[in-house]
Amino acid sequence: MKKPLSLLAGLAFSTFLYAADEIKPNEAVNITLLAEITAQGQKINGLALEYPENVLSGSDLRQLYQIQTSLDNAEKESRSVLKAYVNAEPKTTALPQAGKFVIVELDTADKNAATYSVKDANKAPMKFKSKDENGNIVETEKVQAVKIPEFFANRLAYSVEQKGLLKLTNGTTLGKAEWTQTAEPEKIKTTYLDDFKTKQVNLDKPENKLNYRLYSPLQKNGEKYPLVIFLHGSGQVGSDNLAHLISSKGAIATSPYEPSFVLAPQYDQVFDPFDNAAKGQKGGIHWQTDNRINLVFKMIDETIKANPQIDINRIYVNGLSRGAEGGLNLLLARPNFFAGALLMSGREAYTNEWVDGNATKENLAAIKDLPIWFFHSKEDKVSPVKGSRINYQILHEQLNAPNVKYTEFSFEQGGDNGIVNNNPHNTWDAVYNSPEVIEWLLQQKRP
């Protein structure tokens, strides 16, 4: 029996429509290295692979990818793949979205996750004023080492292997492939960090300057936003206007919780040449000098004037180590200006160089009503715990300060209490990763 011509035509048409799938060569993809700021610095936490068209299957592609790194052409080392999924943009997300980017999330705990190494500088001893065991002011030598980030850039190569087939939404099947991407700064996309603008302020003369970074959040008409002042420690002294942003989560601590303006200044040397005790000025080191405090306030005042969206009743201070000392100096200089402060591993109020013992009930009374939360490890050898204890004891016990808190840590090993660096001085590791602490700070408002 002959088949109808219409049926034969239909079969031929079906064969044409449903031709066998073909595997096509996988062309080069655009690769972006994704990074985040962690307690141990800037780390690559993922890759964004941009394919020519949308990817069809996209919620779990982990088995498809192997990621390795090589520094200075050394033997390749594997990165740990946590997730792989599709997204519409080159960034990580909790929920995959239709798009042409495959996001390969990586473990930031990998030993090869860093984007830079650290060079120790300023290692020669310097002379400072301090007290001897009898309370006499003497001259002593101490090292104030600075940690300078040296970025790997094109010395660091990421090798990406797509180990299997990948179906695009348009029906194309892409074959296996391998690509390499080096870590030039323009190929790294770092959450929050990329949106900090480079700024500078000066006082009286151009040479008396302070470099700083400003982060401005996405804003809605009519909304007000808090302003956070982050002060770095002695290890981030420099002129790159960057080390203080990537060495800890200090500058970005509040941003995941609430859109905030952030100011992060950086001074470039231990002593302040524009506030010199030898010239009859108060002098001091780090954030101790009146000149540097005045520069910080000029930075703050100019930022507020230029950004009326800032809520002047929600200006916060956040300082670590010498930055905690500086934060306390800001509070004392304008006691009715700030809404609250986090001060970690700092020193006794009114310390000058290493001369302490100057804090009293009388000179701390102005800040007795301020919400302040001090943190310190009792094993801290960099900045002894007695400084925070004295500040808290005067405020809490002698002045009955109702809003002052103090948390003291015990430390035996890295990881204790969330202090991921193996140093009891680094209490900020725990603080910046604490929803309890950050939410407390953001709840504070100036009366």
Sign of CA dihedral 78, 84, 87, 92: negative
**Does residue 90 form part of some domain?**
yes
Window from 121-125, 256-260, 337-341 with minimum mean pLDDT? 121-125
50 with 126, same domain: the answer is no
The radius of gyration of the chain from alpha carbons, rounded to an integer in Å, stands at 27
Residues near 219 by Cβ (< 8 Å), separated by ≥ 6?
225, 259, 309
235 with 370, same domain: the answer is yes
**Does residue 274 form part of some domain?**
yes
What was the pLDDT predicted at 8?
A: 44
122 with 110, same domain: the answer is no
Which letter does DSSP use for residue 114 in this model?
A: B
What was the pLDDT predicted at 17?
A: 55
**Does residue 10 form part of some domain?**
no
pLDDT in tens, 22-53: 999 888 899 999 999 999 999 999 999 999 99
**Does residue 4 form part of some domain?**
no
133 with 200, same domain: the answer is no
CA distance 123 to 28: 46
CA distance 160 to 447: 55
Task: Dig out the tokens for 290 from the structure.
Answer: 């009146």
Confidence at 7, pLDDT banded by 50, 70, 90: very low
Has residue 124 got a pLDDT over 70? Answer: yes
Range 99-117 average pLDDT:
98
Across the chain, what does the average pLDDT equal? 95
pTM for the whole structure: 0.93
Which letter does DSSP use for residue 393 in this model?
A: I
- pLDDT greater at residue 20 or residue 293: 293
DSSP string computed for 38-105: ETTEEEEEEEEEE-SS-BS--S--GGGEEEEEEETT---EEPPEEEEEEESSSS--SS--SSSEEEEE
CA distance 422 to 381: 13
CA distance 155 to 343: 38
107 with 209, same domain: the answer is no
259 with 405, same domain: the answer is yes
**Does residue 9 form part of some domain?**
no
Has residue 90 got a pLDDT over 70? Answer: yes
284 with 206, same domain: the answer is yes
183 with 247, same domain: the answer is no
**Does residue 47 form part of some domain?**
yes
206 with 318, same domain: the answer is yes
Count up the domains in the chain and report the number.
3
Has residue 6 got a pLDDT over 70? Answer: no
Percent of the chain with pLDDT over 90: 90
**Does residue 17 form part of some domain?**
no
Range 416-430 average pLDDT:
95
178 with 292, same domain: the answer is no
**Does residue 16 form part of some domain?**
no
Task: Dig out the tokens for 328 from the structure.
Answer: 């306390």
Q: 332 is in which domain, residue-wise?
A: 192-443
165 with 251, same domain: the answer is no
How many CA atoms, within 13 angstroms, populate the side-chain half-sphere of residue 159? 14
CATH number of the structural domain spanning residue 61: 2.60.40.2180
Task: Dig out the tokens for 142 from the structure.
Answer: 């101490």
Residues near 144 by Cβ (< 8 Å), separated by ≥ 6?
122, 126, 234, 237, 270, 285
Which letter does DSSP use for residue 396 in this model?
A: I
CATH number of the structural domain spanning residue 433: 3.40.50.1820
pLDDT in tens, 236-287: 999 999 999 999 999 999 999 999 999 999 999 999 999 988 888 999 999 9
Angle among Cα 150, 156, 159 to the nearest 5 degrees reads: 160
pLDDT in tens, 173-213: 999 999 999 999 999 999 999 999 999 999 999 999 999 99
133 with 100, same domain: the answer is no
CA distance 113 to 38: 11
What was the pLDDT predicted at 12?
A: 45
